[in-house]
Structure 1
Amino acid sequence: MNNTMDQSRRRLFNRRAQQAIRPPWSRTDIEFTDICTRCNLCIEACETAIIFRGDGGFPEINFSQAECTFCTKCVSACKEPLFNDPQQEPWQLRAVIDNSCLALSGIWCQACKDACDARAITFTPAIGCAPQPAIMLDSCTGCGACVSPCPSQSISITAKEPR
Structure 2
Amino acid sequence: MDAVSLTRRGFLRGRPSRVEPAQRPPWALGEAAFLERCTRCDACLDACPGSILTRGDGGFPKVDFERGECVFCGDCVTQCKSGALFRQEAAAPWALRAAVGSACLALHGVECRVCGEICELSAIRFRPRIGGVALPELDAVSCTGCGACVAPCPAHALTMEKME
Give the TM-score normalised by the residue count of structure 1: 0.88
Q: Secondary structure at the match of 2:148?
A: coil
Asked if the contact 2:77/2:87 (under 8 Å) is kept, the reply is: no
1:92 aligns with 2:76: no
Deviation at 1:86, TM superposition (A): 4.3
Aligned to 2:55: 53
Q: Secondary structure at the match of 1:144?
A: coil
One-letter amino acid of the counterpart of residue 150, structure 1: C
Distance 2:21 2:157 in 1: 17
Work out which of the residue numbers 147, 152, 156 in structure 2 matches 1:153.
Answer: 156
Asked if the contact 1:72/1:86 (under 8 Å) is kept, the reply is: no
Deviation at 1:85, TM superposition (A): 2.4
The equivalences for 1:112-131 within 5 A come to 112-131=115-134
Distance 2:59 2:74 in 1: 21
Q: How big is each residue's C-alpha offset from its partner over 1:99-153, in whole Å with a ceiling of 9 and x where there is no partner?
A: 1101111111110011111211011111111101011011111110000110000
**Please, what is the CA RMSD of the aligned residues?**
1.6
1:12 aligns with 2:4: yes
Distance 2:50 2:34 in 1: 21
Asked if the contact 1:93/1:142 (under 8 Å) is kept, the reply is: yes
The runs of 5 or more residues in structure 1 that have no matched partner are: 1-9
Deviation at 1:82, TM superposition (A): 1.4
Aligned to 1:5: none
Deviation at 1:19, TM superposition (A): 3.3
Count, aligned residues: 151
The runs of 5 or more residues in structure 2 that have no matched partner are: 7-17
